[in-house]
Chains A and B, each alone.
Chain A
């Protein structure tokens, strides 16, 4: 799971735009604090309408982990005006697709639908921003569903299980250490009253971003949003996340024994996020290590020496708080986790002393830029990308992102490798297969 998740976030990360799109965004903040970003795209008669709440597992407390994700499930369980299955029914009978996801930082809902149905979606989303039923009976039925989801993602997925363990040892103070889906005991315990309070606190217009990209006229859509979302009163500013992860002073390690076919090794270092000057270099570093078959880890460990079945790395540029830089590898049969751990560490050490080649640097930058261009092909991705940049300080940052990436030098990479990848700041997880 970790690997799939990591790849997903790379894709998201690369999701910015080389096209001069930002100047056409109609951006506005309603009186109640709701942020609205609208971008007309008339290529197809479709629209992607997305609501991003600035709340994720990062906002949770011990004992109530998983509450943000639990609430996301309940957002589909109806309001007084529209019963439990109405949201999905209305969307599906209009040929639309809806879904949602919860991350450490945000909870995002989207509907992709025929452009002439956008008013319906605006009404549905505005309704569930303020009027969610949260019927205790529905909550208890959905609790079982979330438990099943946890079994699928974590309990029965060796890599997912290991990733959760490594995250939890890497963070002592910051809530990034708890799993997004929550610990099983918390999912079982969380009460309807707590969920209601969480909803009232975070699902407020001044804590949300509405983004739409598609075949509409922005002024008309903005007017509709003002008439619906605009009526929701502003609420108290949700509490900030105060926790700061203290500097790690000593390697941490977890070994998991579970029924599995092959071992897995994870290594994770604390690194800064987008706010830091080192962030673009870390982004490039991650691409040099694991962007494609010409990348270092693939070419050396998977291809040339056949030590690993898979190997890669991942960095979360968009994280709201400093997060982890991940490395992973799955040893080939006959190879050990120990060998792969040593090889991954060697790659990291090499980056500290030996500059990357001009070709590697240029390739990584081209890959990042190209992914930006590909992203422009889908209205859904265009909308998600605007939201990602808005979350870290403003959608206009999208325009300067590639400039920052282009400015990264080989010397920057050597420097950030030296600055952030000290052995005493790493957490290591090893999955050792238990024979069946």
Chain B
């Protein structure tokens, strides 16, 4: 019953966004993790955190929604939801009972690029946890009854999510920002696309996509490198690497044409979401863009927060963010305001975007953004689960274990000129699509 309060920041969803800041430690920091490639191609990452007797494991395999066939949106999502619903040895309820009996958790979920199986257990239950994780990954049976059950559940969840204006806006915006691109389709699919999915689709998809040479395993917590290697190899070492290369895709590069879309709902407030294509972490522009986004709408000192919220009282939430993924990236701005003030807030956001392109940011704004992005990093790695998420994400996104240090160095080098250059490229207001959800006439 704790109502979250006033200044709550948006928790940026994408784990990869975590990759967006890095340590204020000494220049030559100890490596974040041990990395090695097992004989079957699995990339194993291990970070020892002995103080608390828990272990977090993340297994990522290249089986995200980006690989869904065009008429099968939601296939990766359905597949992930079924992984824990039955294996060669145990039924779904047996898996649930086994992991929950020791107070651990075992969850599988698909994102845009990858499918993740996440295990958290006390150290004493590490062995049991890994047994379950490896069963789920190596011998899922996808029972027909469970497929039927899960399809109905996902359809209902999609229906329910239509109550949430933020979800509606984000879905519509993805479609506008990524035309003809898999990222334009919702990860969970639509009620119609999910209805078409069959057990056969799931079995084939998993067999094709989940393979050791497209898999990362991050083990973090009260374990040593030797122990992690031994335990992971004992369970996943037999996972055979297929002879053909892993499936790859080249999403079409259809340019985005700015559009405006309105979704009518009976609400007292309207949700605005602006978006356009941007760049991912492998592009040099990513770092100045991160700084520019922070100045514009990153925190509670940002230009948008100051003008729209503090000075005008027009919104509780107003933010901007960069959302990078393996096959594309977006930049977005969102706000929620009372319906009568929608035009005013739209103008304010457009004006602030344009001002970023026109005028250099101040020394002070630049310094604050850089200090925050660099200095806040330790808090993104302050639990074993967060470290495991981070390690798996940077490996999966091909950023390298030195990404943390590189990020810090690149952010540190960003100049006022760089910020204005990226703003000129990415912030022209006319280049954005806009979705509005609410009681708009």
Contact = CB atoms under 8 A, between A and B. Distances in A.
Contacts of A151: 268-269, 316, 336, 338
A93 B6 contact: no
A159 to B, nearest CB: 8
Given A148-B316, A262-B160, A294-B93, A102 B103 contact: no
A89 B122 CA distance: 39
A323 interface: yes
Interface string A87-114: 0110011111111111110010000101
A143 interface: yes
Nearest to B381: A44
B93 A333 contact: no
Contacts of A24: none
Given A112-B379, A332-B156, A148 B371 contact: no
Contacts of B105: 292
B96 A153 contact: no
Contacts of A248: none
Given A9-B2, A72-B6, A148 B336 contact: yes
A19 B51 CA distance: 11
B426 to A, nearest CB: 23
Given A85-B310, A89-B368, A366 B316 contact: no
A370 interface: yes
B64 interface: no
Given A96-B375, A141-B313, A303 B93 contact: yes
A69 interface: yes
A152 B316 contact: yes
Contacts of A295: 100
B3 interface: yes
B103 A97 contact: no
Size category, B interface: 35 or more
A332 B103 contact: no
B269 A152 contact: yes
A256 interface: no
Nearest to B154: A309
B4 interface: yes
Contacts of A181: 3
A5 B5 contact: no
Contacts of B160: 261-262, 309, 330
A93 B372 contact: yes
B429 interface: no
A366 B367 contact: no
A89 B369 CA distance: 10
Q: Which 10 A-B pairs have the closest CB atoms?
A: A95-B375, A370-B103, A144-B313, A180-B3, A73-B6, A149-B316, A293-B96, A148-B316, A101-B5, A151-B269
Interface of B: 1-9, 24-25, 49, 51-54, 92-93, 96-97, 100-105, 120, 122, 149, 152-153, 155-157, 159-160, 162-163, 165, 265-269, 299-301, 306, 309-317, 336-338, 367-368, 371-372, 374-379, 382-385
11 contacts: A76-B6, A76-B300, A92-B368, A95-B377, A141-B312, A145-B316, A152-B316, A333-B155, A367-B103, A373-B122, A377-B385
Given A95-B24, A145-B316, 10 more contacts: A73-B5, A92-B300, A95-B375, A151-B268, A259-B265, A293-B96, A333-B159, A363-B100, A373-B54, A374-B54
